[in-house]
Structure 1
C-alpha cells in the first residue's frame, strides 16, 4: 500500500488536523494467506480522510458518506479546507478524497493544474448542475448579465460572493472581464453570502451573487439566474469526485462505491434539508440514509 506523507507543511495554519499515515496489517494478510483466502484490499487500512468544504451540499454529501462508510467498518475523518488547500492535499497524498468537483467549467483550472497528480473521476454523481449570477425575482427588469452595468448604482457596484479560491469565484472574475462589468466581486463565505441574500430579500432590496443549483436556498427564496449570453459560466455542469493517486488500489471497494453514486435533484435537495435541519449534520445524514436504503444499496452493493 502506498503510504501518505505525514505533516501539512505547505498549508500550516489551515483547518486541517488528524491526517495519519496509511499502513498495512501484514500479520492479518499473512493469516489470511495461511487460511487460503485473499485479504480484503480495503482491510489494509480502515481510515479514510475526506476533505469537506463549507458549502451546504458538500457538508451534506461528506457527512452522508461518513455514515455510509463507517457503517461498513471504515473510520472516516472529515477535514475542513477550502478548495485550493483540498487540491494541494490530494496532490501530496495528505488527503484521500474530495467529493465535489464541478466540470467542465467551474473547476477546470484545478483539473488543468493537478490532472497528473490527482485522480479526477470520469464518473459523476450529479448531472444537472447550474451555475450563474442570481438576483431576486422581484427585480423584474434585470434578467441578463448585460443589464448589470446600466443598474450599477442599484447594486452599489458590488457582486456579493463567497469563498475566495472557489472555482465559481474565479469564473465570476472572468465574467466581469468578459462583460466589462464595472462591478467589484466581494469575497466572504457561503453562509455569510446566503445571510446577506436573505437580509436583502426580507427588505426587498437588490442583490446579485454567484450561486449554484443544487442548493437549498432556492427552496427558501425566490431567485432567478441571469442570462449569460457569452456563456462564461457554461451550460450544464456535472459534479465528480476526486481521489489521491493510488486510492483506487488501496480502497478498490470504496472506489467502486463512489463510482456507483448517483443523485437527482430531489434526492440531493432532501439530503441537504435533512442535514441543514439537524443539530448535528451526522444525525441529519443518518436519518436520510435510514429512509433511503434502496438508493444506498444501489451504490454499495
Structure 2
C-alpha cells in the first residue's frame, strides 16, 4: 500500500527529473540554434592558450566549438575557404603578413587581441652572444645550427632572411615549438650554448633567464600584435559569436598565466582555460556582447 508521503516525494522527484531533463534539452536546443564555431590555430603555446580561452567563453554562451590545429599556412587557407570561422592567432604586421595578403579579400580583421609581442633569436642569459652577428663566432658551440619551430611559420621565414642578411654560415633546423623548448631545456641544464627562434609572450621566459640577440638590421621588425581574424559573413551568420571575438582582448600577463598552467605535468589546456575563465569573470564580462 502506498504511503501518501512516499507518493508525494516520488511526484516531486519525478517533477525535478523532468525539469532537469527539460533544462538539458533546452541547452542542447540553444547550442543547436546558435550553431558550431570552428576556431583554427597553430600549436604555439600562446595560441593554444588564447584559442582554448575563447572556446571556453563561447561554450559558456551556448555555442558548440570545434578547434582545428593546423600549420600557419593551412590555418589561413582554412579561414579563407570558410572551413574555419575565426582565428585569434594572427601575428601582424610582420610574421603573418604574406598569409594575410593572400587571403585579405576573404577575411575580416577584427583588430588586436594582444599587444606587445616580439620575435627574434633567443639565447640563455649566460651566453656570450649578444647580437646576431655573434652567432658565427660561436658556430662550433651551437653545432652550426639555429633551432627553429614548424617550417611553415613566418618566424622561420624571417630567420632564413636573417641568415642571409647577416651572412651566417649556420643552418636552420625545423621542428616544432615543443622540440625547440626541449632543446633549450637540455642546453640550459648542461649550461651549453644554443640559439633558438622564439617570441614573446611565451612561457619559457617565465621559466628560464633568457635574452634576445640584438638585431641591428631590424630583420625581425619591432613589436607586433596578435589579431583576431574572422571569415567573411560570420557577423551575419553568428552575430553574438562575432561580437565576442571582436571584443576579445587581453594582456601578455593574463596570457602568461594560462600558458604557465599549461606547462604543469598532465595538465589539460582546455580545462585550464575553463578554470581561468571562471576565475576571471571581470575580464570575461568585457568580452560579452552586453559589454559593447
Q: Shorter chain as normaliser: what TM range?
A: 0.7 to 0.9
Offset at 1:43? 8.0
Query: Is 2:70 the partner of 1:90?
Result: no
Q: CA deviation at 1:120?
A: 2.8
How far residue 117 of structure 1 moved from its aligned partner, in angstroms, is: 2.1
Aligned to 2:126: 138
> Can you list the C-alpha shifts for 1:120-154, whole angstroms capped at 9, x where unaligned?
33x10111001110001111x31001111222222
Distance 2:245 2:263 in 1: 23
- Of 246, 265, 278, the residue aligned with 1:290 is 278
Q: Distance in 1 between matches of 2:245 and 2:37?
A: 13
Larger Rg: 2
Alpha-carbon distance, 1:80 to partner: 1.5
Residues 48 and 76 in structure 1, CA contact (< 8 A), matched pair in contact too: yes
The 5 A counterparts of 1:27-66 are 45-66=34-55
Which residue in the other structure is 2:207 paired with? 220
Alpha-carbon distance in structure 2 between the residues aligned to 1:279 and 1:145:
36
CA contact (8 A) 2:36 2:63 kept: yes
Root-mean-square deviation (CA, aligned residues, Å) is 1.7
- Counterpart residue number, 1:125: 113
TM-score by length of 2: 0.85
Query: Matched residues in 2 for 1:87 and 1:285: separation?
Result: 24
- The 2-side partners of 1:279 and 1:213 are apart by 22
- Aligned equivalent of 1:107, options 88, 96, 116: 96
CA distance in 2, matches of 1:234, 1:216: 22
In 1, Cα distance between equivalents of 2:247 and 2:174:
35
How far apart are 1:93 and its partner, in Å?
A: 1.0
Matched, 1:210 2:187: no
Distance in 2 between residues matched to 1:148 and 1:181, nearest whole Å: 7
Output the TM-score relative to the length of structure 1.
0.82
Matching residue of 1:154: 141
| Aligned equivalent of 1:7 | none
